[in-house]
Amino acid sequence: MSQPQRQLKSVIGGNAWSGAFKLAADTHPQAAGPLAVTPECSTPDGYRALIRQRYRDHAAVRQQLAVMARRLDGRSMSKPLETTGPFAAEAYEILSAIRGQLKETQP
């Protein structure tokens, strides 16, 4: 783990980004960000539960996942957000669901 990643985890528990970051939907264990899997998580159901807990318990995670969800299809003048890692399919489904919630709440 790099020095910036250690600092991030010590400040906010590794659940969200802090400071400058590259917007990436990376589910690898070594990734920094709200979609990174923990070493203890080994199943799709466990992964969804982990992200649900982060979403529920951390305002910064909710905000960051909403930003990623808005970028999922690339309509905001950027290329579509790529999801990577062992739980990429689950991350895409989670972000799609969040995007659906955002569309429902917008006038």
- Segments forming the whole domain that contains residue 63: 3-105
| φ, ψ for residue 17, nearest 5 deg | -80, 155
Structure tokens at 78: 């950027």
Q: How many domains does the chain have?
A: 1
Half-sphere exposure of 105 (CA within 13 A, CB side): 7
Can you state the percent helix, strand and coil of the chain, rounding each to 5?
A: 50, 5, 45
Longest dimension (CA), the chain: 43
Note down pLDDT in tens along the chain; length 107 residues.
Answer: 555 444 444 444 556 666 666 778 999 998 888 999 998 999 999 999 999 999 999 998 999 999 999 888 877 667 888 899 999 999 999 999 999 988 777 65
